[in-house]
Amino acid sequence: MQSTPDIVKPASFDLILFGGTGDLAWRKLMPALFQAFRHGSLPEGGRIIGVARDKLTDEQYRSLIETRFREVDGPKQPNADEFARFAAMLHYVRMDPSQPEDYQTLASTLAERDAATVVMYVATAPALFTTVVEQLAAAGLNTPRTRVVLEKPLGHDLASNRAINAAVGRAFGERQIFRIDHYLGKPAVQNLFALRFGNALFEPLWRRENIANIQITIAEDLGVEKRGQFYDSTGALRDMVQNHALQLLCAIAMEPPINAHADAIRDEKLKVLRSLKAWTPETLTQHVIRGQYSAGSRHGKAVPGYLDEAGVPADSDTETYVALRTEIENWRWAGVPFYIRTGKRLAAREAHITVNFRPTPHPIFKAPIGAANKLVINLQPRDGLELHLLAEGRTQRNATASSTGATQTLAPVQLDLDFDKRFGNERVGAYERLLLDVIDGRLNLFVRSDEQEEAWQWVQPILEHWQAGQMPPRPYAAGTWGPSAASAMIARDGHCWSEEA
C-alpha cells in the first residue's frame, strides 16, 4: 500500500474519466464539472481527460460532449462562448481498460505536465474496478498525488465488496480512495447535518422518549428505462438500500461527532451501522417486503410491467421495490422503528425523511384522531423542511365543556421552508460538490471501507434469504405506492406511511 502525505489543495489537476463516453459521464459528471467551471470554483490549470474504447480525437470528443449538453436542463446549458472556454480543458485518450499496454499511453499523457493532483474517476461497469486499479498500480500511476473515485455499486454482495476493497487497498492508501455516494452531496442532506449539528433546537428531542418512528422514502415514478439488463443484475436492495438509504439512516441517527473532520463523522456513522438490529428468520419474513412492478399507468399513460421491459428476462425475480423495518439498538433509539422503502414505477418521484413525534402525553384540546407533530425533510424534487404542528382552529361551546363553556379544537398547520427558493442559484449540485471535494482532497462526504463493509454485512442475510427462494417478489401495479404488504407491515406497529396519514 502506498503511503500518503497530507493532502493539500492542488495548483493544477488532471481528472481522468474512465468511461468518458458513457451515460454517467455525459448525464452527470460533465454537467457538474461545467457548473463548477461556470461558478469559478473549478481550479484553474486543470485537464479533464475522457478515457474510452471509441476512436476519437480531442476535437471529436469535445463535439460529442457539446452535443450531449443539449440534453441538459435549460439553465444549465452553456452558451457557445462558455462551452468554447470549458472545452479547452477537455481531452481524450483512447484505451481499453482491460489491456495493460494501454495504461502506458495514459501514463505518457499524464507525464506531459506532471499535475499536482491526479484524479482517476472509475465510471465503468463494477466488474472492471479491480482491473483498473491493479493496472494503474502496474503502470506506476498510483503515486501519492493520485486519488481514485469509485462509483456504486461497489460489489454485488459482502464477499465481492471485500475483494474490491482489498484490491483497491493494495494499490492506494485509504485517504486516496473516494467511494462516492451522490446522495451525500445533495444540498438537502447537507442541510440534514446542519439541522442536527448546527442548531440546538432539535437535539434535546432527538431520542426515543419523543420520537415514535422515522420513515425514509426514496421513490421513483420511472421504470428501468434502457437499463433493464444492468438493473436486473442489481435490484432495488443493492441499488438503493445498501448505499443511499443506509447513508440517510446514519445521518439521521448518528451521535454528534467531536468535530467536522472526515473520520470523526464516519466513525459515528459506523457506530449506527454496527447497532442495526440483526436479522432473524422471523424478521426476514415479517419485516422485509419485496416487490416487482406490473403493468399500470404513469401520468395517465399505460406503462409496461418489469418483465416486459427491454433486457429483462421473462422469468426474472429481481425486486424493483423494497420496504423494511429495523431498529437501532442503543440508548438513544432503543425501541424506535425505522422504516425504509424504495422502488421504481411508484406513484410519484420523491425522496423524504419523516420524523414522527409522539403525541402529547395528556391532551387537553380536541384534535384530529392520530394527529401529532412531525418533521419532514424533503430531498427531491423539492428540497426543504416542513414542520407540522397543531394550532387553534376554532372554539366550540357545548354542555360538557369546562366552566368557561368553551372547548378549543386544534387543526394541523405547517411551517414550510423551501431551500431552492431561499438560496436559489447559490446552491451547489451533488456531483459538483463531490467532484470539487475530490480535487481538494476532502473526504467528509465519502464512504470509508469499514463503513461500506458493515452496510453490506447487514443486507447480506436478506440477499441469502431471497436466494434461497424464501421470498419471491410481490407484484404491484405501476403508478401505486407498492405492494399492500408494505402497508400491512407498518400497520402492525400502529403506524402508517406518510401518504396514508
User: Is the separation of the CB atoms in 146 and 118 below 8 Å?
Assistant: yes
User: Is the separation of the CB atoms in 255 and 278 below 8 Å?
Assistant: no
Residue 230 CB-density burial (10 A; 0-12 exposed, 13-18 middle, 19+ buried): middle
Q: How far is CA 165 from CA 142, 161, 178, 191, 474, in A?
A: 15, 6, 11, 30, 34
Q: How far is CA 491 from CA 324, 353, 484, 486, in A?
A: 13, 18, 11, 9
Q: Is the dihedral of CA 223, 30, 54, 132 positive or negative?
A: negative
Mark whether 465 is an active-site residue. Answer: no
User: Is the separation of the CB atoms in 216 and 245 below 8 Å?
Assistant: yes
- Residue type at 300? G
Q: Tell me the C-alpha distance between 454 and 8, whole Å.
A: 30
C-alpha angle with apex 416: 415 to 419, nearest 5 degrees?
140
Q: Please tell me what DSSP assigns to residue 40.
A: T
DSSP of 388-432, one letter per residue? EEEEEEEEEE-TTS-TT-EEEEEEEEEEEEEHHHHHGGG---HHH
Name the catalytic one among 91, 182, 244, 388. 244
Query: Which three-class secondary structure state does DSSP give residue 350?
Result: strand
227: Cβ–Cβ under 8 A, 6 or more apart, which residues?
311
User: Is the separation of the CB atoms in 325 and 285 below 8 Å?
Assistant: no
Q: How far is CA 220 from CA 116, 312, 381, 441, in A?
A: 41, 19, 10, 32
Q: Tell me the C-alpha distance between 497 and 476, whole Å.
A: 16
Residue 122 CB-density burial (10 A; 0-12 exposed, 13-18 middle, 19+ buried): buried
Neighbours of 111 (CB within 10 A): 8
Q: Tell me the C-alpha distance between 494 and 94, whole Å.
A: 59
Q: How far is CA 342 from CA 53, 85, 184, in A?
A: 35, 41, 17
Candidates 159, 151, 196, 201; CA nearest to 177 is 151
User: Is the separation of the CB atoms in 301 and 345 below 8 Å?
Assistant: no
List active site positions: 244
